[in-house]
Structure 1
Amino acid sequence: MNMQLDPIDRRILRLLQRDASVSHDDLGAQVGLSRNACWRRVRALEQAGFIKKRVVLIDPDQVGLGLTVFLMIRTDRHGPDWLDQFAKATRDIPEILGAYRMTGDLDYLVRVRVADVAAYDTLYQKLIRRVEMADCSASFVMEELKETTELPL
């Protein structure tokens, strides 16, 4: 479905990014639509793929996952078999929150959430057993200055 976003759609998306639990009544009131008209807009945004899913954001410290680690990975293998193996490993390990193929000196950047350095080491051992890498270095986040899921619309 090819849908163009108008200003109301953008306002709806901005508001839903901040709180996806808002009722259609409240959302409609904030964007100047009736509840039903708002519901139809949200449904159309979902069907067009603008809204991928609705989630709850959990405080990582509250669930004992206070350490963010970025892995910088270099590989000397760039074939589809290696990439499939690496992609599967990153999908299968729940502590891996994001994995990105990069340009420049770095081949892959991986974002991890774990309890502590010992938990990171366990994850690292699990990953290197599954995937051969030329080099893997880690940086531990000392302070989180900004973390958001909101896209600038």
Structure 2
Amino acid sequence: MITKLTDKPISIAADHRGVVLKERLKGWLLAKGYRVKDCGTDSAAARVDAMDYALQLVAELKASRSDFAIGICGSGQMMAITANRFPFVRATLLHTAEESIDARRHGDANMLVLGADVTDDATVESILAAFLNTTALGDRYAERRKRLAELDISEL
């Protein structure tokens, strides 16, 4: 059972390698009662850059139009690397439901990243369900997240 942690649309985007998985996950989300904001791409036929679609998801999070985003590319790496350039994004590339639970509990991850070429269909749904059904823990984890948000890399 999914406990909805947001009433806002969940933003989702993919590059050309992740289009099929994006469409499948959109259907899953809609069937579970979520609203979805599709940020592209819509075709696997033409090569596109995952970075461009990660930036669209970042914009949705920054504007608070979405509390959660899902980015999909071949390996997931470029989506995660791009999104994590922004201090308000906590993107996590996940391969198991167990990782998903820890990413939400400990890091309050707000962007799920998946590798379309490296994650099987059954696992993807369990990762997404765990991600959307897990709340962030308080105490030391809240303090850690606060410290993370306040990091200034220019001071290193």
User: What TM bracket, shorter-length normalisation?
Assistant: under 0.3
* TM-score normalised by L of structure 2: 0.21
* TM-score normalised by L of structure 1: 0.22
Structure ranking higher in strand proportion: 1
Structure ranking higher in helix proportion: 2
Q: Which has the higher contact order (CA 8 A, sep 6+)?
A: 1
Higher gyration radius (CA): 1
